Amino acid sequence: MARDYYGALGVAKGASADEIKRAYRKLARELHPDVNPDAAAQQRFKDVTAAYEVLSDPAKRQVVDLGGDPLSGSGGGNGGGGGDPFGGMGLGDIMDAFFGGGQGGGRGRGPRSRTRQGDDALIPVELTLEECAAGVAKDITVDTATLCGVCHGSGCAEGTRPVTCDTCQGSGEIQQVQRSLLGQVVTSRPCPVCRGFGEVIPEPCRQCSGEGRVRARRVVRANIPAGVGNGIRVRLAGQGEVGPGGGAPGDLYVEVEELSHDRFTREGVDLHCTVHVPMTAAALGTTMSLSTLQSQEELVIAPGTQSGTVQTLRGQGMPRLRGSGVGNLHVHVDVVTPTRVDGRQAELLRELAALRGEEQAELAARGHGGFFSRLRDSFAGR
């Protein structure tokens, strides 16, 4: 009985050549042994390959349409050899036959350039809060690949030059021809001698060993703008690694590591600090001199200020990195209560308590171990 070649590919009897090709391409991707090692899938792969061989050949397809089997005497459609119908080719080789990999002797991609773009480089730099606020120009020592000063990127010893590769004749590729049920399939691969460049360097430069670049330490000036913060990266175009063959350098990125400050903490563009105010100054009110990042400011402590009060000095924070404007400085007030006082100071505090009508509260507290009792004991050093 004649086999159902159309059914094997899942196409109708009147399918066009393109439909047959697309159906086979899809099944080949799914069933090829390189992708699906299952034994049943491998047998199915052989069946669909045989079906494609028949239906892609107009003469054989006509035999099928007339009710015959053009492979009835050829060992089941495997080329009579009993093995892989593609002669051991990989899935990539089969796909090359469909996607321009060189069937019929077509030329491949050609030689690749020895000169390539360099990589980017990253280096950290420590900045103080003041430097982040004002911006700074920093001289940074970097260790990167630079252009070879002897061969200037060619990779050749002085007085020599690259020569055409004898193996690939300058194409950068070697081609392999394999026969299959699809006919002659030509695949291209990079030349193993010249590594796809199409040229070889007979006498490499001794300074760079043919790379066209060497590692060197150099100093780069980085202009860091005002408003940067921890983790911000500043790009220095063309200051990165020189590429192989003297290729254009990549970029250098300077990553900011902001050092902690002894007085200020930062939240975005806002700053925070704490001032310690004596109990009497908080009660009576006072004016304090406060050094900010930008100037010297007068901080007014209103009478009766409580611990935990926050005063905001607008425009005394960090500049915005993008756009205009400056953040604020938030001043946290910490009212300091004395831990030890002498006899005269204790007497004055008790007199103050009496003037404020707090002596009754003190008397009540004596029997209950309350606040005034504990305060008196503290003043007495007990």
Q: SS3 for 298?
A: strand
Q: How big is the chain, counted in residues? A: 382
Residue 156 marked ligand-binding: no
350/363 Cα distance (integer angstroms): 11
Coil, helix or strand at residue 92:
helix
132 in a known ligand binding site: no
- Gap between the Cα atoms of 147 and 153, Å rounded: 6
Cβ-in-10-Å burial (0-12, 13-18, 19+) of 221 comes to exposed
Diameter of the chain measured on Cα atoms = 126
Q: Within 13 A of 182's CA, how many CA atoms are on the CB side?
A: 22
Spell out the residues 6+ positions from residue 69 whose beta carbon is closer than 8 angstroms to its own: 2, 3, 63
Name every residue whose Cβ is closer than 8 Å to that of residue 148 and which is 6 or more positions away in sequence.
155, 205, 207, 208, 211, 212, 213, 214, 246
Give the SS3 label for residue 139: strand
Tell me the sheet residues that pair with 319: 326
Give, in order, the Cα–Cα distances in Å from 378 to each of 336, 338, 354, 358: 15, 9, 18, 18
Give the burial string for 42-80 (b: 16+ CB within 10 Å, else e): eebbbbbbbbbbbbbbeebbebbeeeebbbeeeeebbbe
- State the number of CA atoms in the 13 A half-sphere of 290 facing the CB: 27
CA dist 99 → 88, 190, 198 (Å):
19, 18, 24
Contact by Cβ (8 Å): 11, 20: yes
**Spatial distance between the Cα atoms of 31 and 183, rounded to a whole number of angstroms:** 20
The one-letter code for the residue type at 177 is V
Q: Is 208 annotated for ligand binding?
A: yes
Minimal CA–CA distance to 129: which of 268, 267, 293, 289?
293
Annotated binding site for Zn(2+): 148, 151, 165, 168, 191, 194, 205, 208
Annotated binding site: 148, 151, 165, 168, 191, 194, 205, 208
